[in-house]
Amino acid sequence: MTEREVEYLISQAVKARERAYAPYSNFAVGAAVLTGSGAVYTGCNIENASYGATCCAERVALFKALSEGEKDIRLIAVAAEGEKPVPPCGVCRQVMVELAPQAEVIMVNLQGQRERRTVEELLPAAFVKSSMR
């Protein structure tokens, strides 16, 4: 990934955050994924009064990419307000392991702090498809 691609992806995650529907937590999150084809898909967290029906920004962006036929997710940017960059939740990490196992994840806060990890670093010893054989 070029620095220009990284910066663009982060800007799209920050922009997606502005569309979050978070009336319960008041914690807006935006995400953007870069695919092998060069396409970018964004997502924001969408909450629901039935908390289990809530969907995180990372999953929204990943699901949009896959629903459009993308299979090669290279980079995932996640933007949220926090003292430090905010990591993906456990459910999102599990989804990343299945849908974007080779991806890198860049977590950013609104002050510009960044942390970069691979999906494997975020969820070592993951439960995967082969675990069920």
Q: Which of 58, 81, 104, 120 is catalytic?
A: 58
DSSP code for 19: T
Is 20 strand, coil or helix? Answer: coil
Angstrom distance (rounded) from CA 119 to CA 108: 16
CB 61 within 8 A of CB 76: yes
CB 111 within 8 A of CB 103: no
Is 66 strand, coil or helix? Answer: helix
Active site annotation includes 58: yes
Residues with active-site annotation: 58
